[in-house]
Amino acid sequence: MMRWLRRLFWFGVFAGGGYGGYRVWSRRQSPSPAAPQWPPLPSVDRRDEAVIVAPRWLAPVDGQCPDGYPVKATDSSRIYHVPGGRFYARTAPERCYAHADDAIADGYRAAKA
């Protein structure tokens, strides 16, 4: 029994070495695909440009969402409410979004109707 285990072990060692050698040899023989040559991007100096980016969400002020951010979201339930929704008036927001897409991007789901 021990003799067969030794033979099986050495067979595995030689077979693995042979396979590794084959892989190295085949990689040397096959031409490597050329990397695509992309044209260089033009350099643009943007230090003089003022970029104004509106925040994705705002914190509520006195329990109400500020103007322009009507979508209410609660962190505990990860649900957002849009104006005209069933529980919109009763919802105490923890975040206010300008669009429902922004709330979805942050991981919130829409309230059920």
Whole-number pLDDT of residue 64: 93
pTM here is 0.54
CB-CB contact of 56 with 66 (8 Å): no
pLDDT tens digit at each of 113 positions of the chain:
888 888 889 988 888 888 888 888 777 765 556 666 767 667 666 666 666 677 889 999 999 999 999 999 999 999 999 999 999 999 999 999 999 999 999 999 999 87
Whole-number pLDDT of residue 47: 66
Tokens of 107: 């991981």
Question: To 5 degrees, how large is the angle CA 27–CA 33–CA 34?
Answer: 135
Whole-number pLDDT of residue 39: 72
